[in-house]
Chains A and B, each alone.
Chain A
Amino acid sequence: MAQPGASESPPPAQAPHRGWTEHEVELLLGRLLQVGVAISAAVVLAGGAVYLVRHGGAGPHYGRFVGEPAELRSVTGILHAAAAGRGRAVIQLGLLLLIATPVARVAFSLFAFLRERDRAYVLITSFVLALLLVSLAGLGG
């Protein structure tokens, strides 16, 4: 592996990368984030249209906190209600995809570090991914 700081010659130090170069990984990372945000925004927009058409004439009620119903607080609940075509659930599905976008980015980084056989960063990235999944697992039910 490359020795940082020890600048002997021009950087063919990058050469022994297996598979992708660091720049290719960055390009793929960027593309992943872009696609994730675009898909989420489209789903939110579609759900928003349904919601506004059906309920646009009602009054908003955000002055007092009551919390969301159970079906909008868990992955399975959101999937069921969204499949039934409920606007608010489709928006929530879009938000769920948005939250999943950085998680997918970390999973991709783990994959990239595994390919590079960079053990320290495989551990670091696994730790972050595990924490994210634990947080989302709270939604499991």
Chain B
Amino acid sequence: MTILLFSLLVALGSFTAGLLGALTGLGGGVVIVPLLTLGFGIDFRYAVGASLVAVIATSSGAAAAYVREGYTNVRVGMLLEMATTVGALLGAYLAGVVATSALAIVFGLVLIYSAYASSRPGPERLVSTPDPLAQRLRLDDSFPSLTGEQAYHVQRVPLGFALMTAAGTLSGLLGIGSGAVKVLAMDQAMCLPFKVSTTTSNFMIGVTAAASAGVYLSRGYIDPGLAMPVVLGVLGGAMLGARILTRTRSTRLRTLFVLVILALGAEMIYNGATGRI
């Protein structure tokens, strides 16, 4: 295979991942590493480096739109970015010392958890009583709902902060956005409305990934020849996906994508356990 053909195939695969990620709302970043390692036989470290920069591109592109719509809670995002950036630096450090086969197993487990979490979203838990710490940090806000601006009260800030540190560590370790863990922290622990937590999570992903990307770049994990088709492909797919489906999300496509993620998770664990990655 020549570099030209290789780049085209990688761009096509990444485009599909970005498109499916946007159409299903699950994000395409999580399937990039399995696509590159299992599909193209690329070393885990190069795959994580390319995935990390692709995650920055898609999250920053989408954040631009969400922030303007008024869903993103910038204060919550800024506060929790303290947790995710510390975690991301820790994760990037660990990625250099942990064996890639062990990382592949962790990656598989995260994929399976993401599939589980997105197929059974928890109930929306809006609380009407304010929390003193959240008030002191001025985290409470409102969002545009169908019935006009709706106010919400942020809860359990320390628990959310701890969970976000874990999300940041996974992001730095595996080169993913770890949206599933972020949404767990914000939906379930901090009781943010769905739309607010997904958009705020997306808002933070770029900063989190940038923190570990510096470490990855200086370690030589980010290869321009590989990152180029991945970044452009995912970005193109995500932009097209956002354009053709802004509101409605196909549930059948979503189920299919969840199954793909599950299968990739199992395969990552198998390859890690047998030392193939």
Q: Which residues in A have their C-beta under 8 angstroms from that of B45?
A: 65
CA distance A92 to B64 in the complex (A): 23
Flag if A60 contacts B206 (CB, 8 Å): no
Flag if B215 contacts A138 (CB, 8 Å): yes
Known contacts A23-B70, A67-B220, A73-B220; is A98 also within 8 Å of B214 by CB? no
Q: How far is the CB of B10 from chain A (nearest CB, A)?
A: 9
Q: How far is the CB of B178 from chain A (nearest CB, A)?
A: 16
Q: Which residues in B have their C-beta under 8 angstroms from that of A105?
A: 60, 206-207
Q: Please, which residue of chain A has its CB at the minimum distance from the CB of B208?
A: A102
Q: How far is the CB of A26 from chain B (nearest CB, A)?
A: 5
Contact residues, A102-141 vs B (CB, 8 A): 102-103, 105-106, 109, 118, 120-121, 124-125, 127-128, 131-132, 134-139
Flag if B3 contacts A60 (CB, 8 Å): yes
Let me know if A79 is at the binding interface, CB within 8 A.
no
Complex partner residue of A47 from B46, B224, B229, CB under 8 angstroms: B224
Q: Please, which residue of chain B has its CB at the minimum distance from the CB of A88?
A: B224
CA distance A5 to B208 in the complex (A): 30
Known contacts A48-B232, A105-B207, A138-B215; is A131 also within 8 Å of B223 by CB? no
B 1-27 to A, binary, CB cutoff 8 A, 1 in contact else 0:
111101100000000000000000000
Known contacts A67-B221, A102-B60; is A127 also within 8 Å of B82 by CB? yes
Count of interface residues, chain A, beta-carbon cutoff 8 Å: 70
CA distance A74 to B215 in the complex (A): 11
CA distance A11 to B78 in the complex (A): 23
Q: Which residues in B have their C-beta under 8 angstroms from that of A139?
A: 214, 217-218
Q: Which residues in B have their C-beta under 8 angstroms from that of A69?
A: 220
A 18-36 to B, binary, CB cutoff 8 A, 1 in contact else 0:
0000010111011101101
Known contacts A4-B140, A62-B46; is A102 also within 8 Å of B206 by CB? yes
Let me know if A16 is at the binding interface, CB within 8 A.
no
Flag if B68 contacts A131 (CB, 8 Å): no
Complex partner residue of A103 from B61, B78, B210, CB under 8 angstroms: B210
Q: How far is the CB of A127 from chain B (nearest CB, A)?
A: 6
Flag if B78 contacts A121 (CB, 8 Å): yes
Known contacts A37-B60, A124-B79, A131-B211; is A62 also within 8 Å of B67 by CB? no
Q: Which residues in A have their C-beta under 8 angstroms from that of B217?
A: 73, 95-96, 99, 139
In the A-B complex, the 10 residue pairs with the closest CB atoms:
A67-B220, A56-B4, A91-B224, A135-B214, A102-B206, A68-B220, A65-B43, A34-B64, A62-B42, A30-B64
20 further contact pairs, Cβ within 8 A, besides A33-B206, A36-B60, A121-B78: A26-B72, A30-B63, A33-B63, A37-B61, A44-B231, A51-B225, A56-B7, A57-B4, A62-B42, A72-B220, A92-B222, A96-B217, A99-B213, A102-B207, A103-B210, A124-B79, A132-B214, A135-B89, A138-B215, A139-B214
27 chain-A/chain-B pairs, Cβ below 8 angstroms:
A5-B140, A25-B74, A26-B70, A27-B67, A33-B63, A33-B64, A37-B235, A44-B227, A48-B228, A56-B2, A56-B7, A58-B2, A60-B1, A62-B223, A63-B42, A64-B43, A73-B217, A73-B218, A95-B227, A96-B217, A98-B53, A98-B231, A101-B210, A102-B56, A105-B207, A131-B211, A135-B215
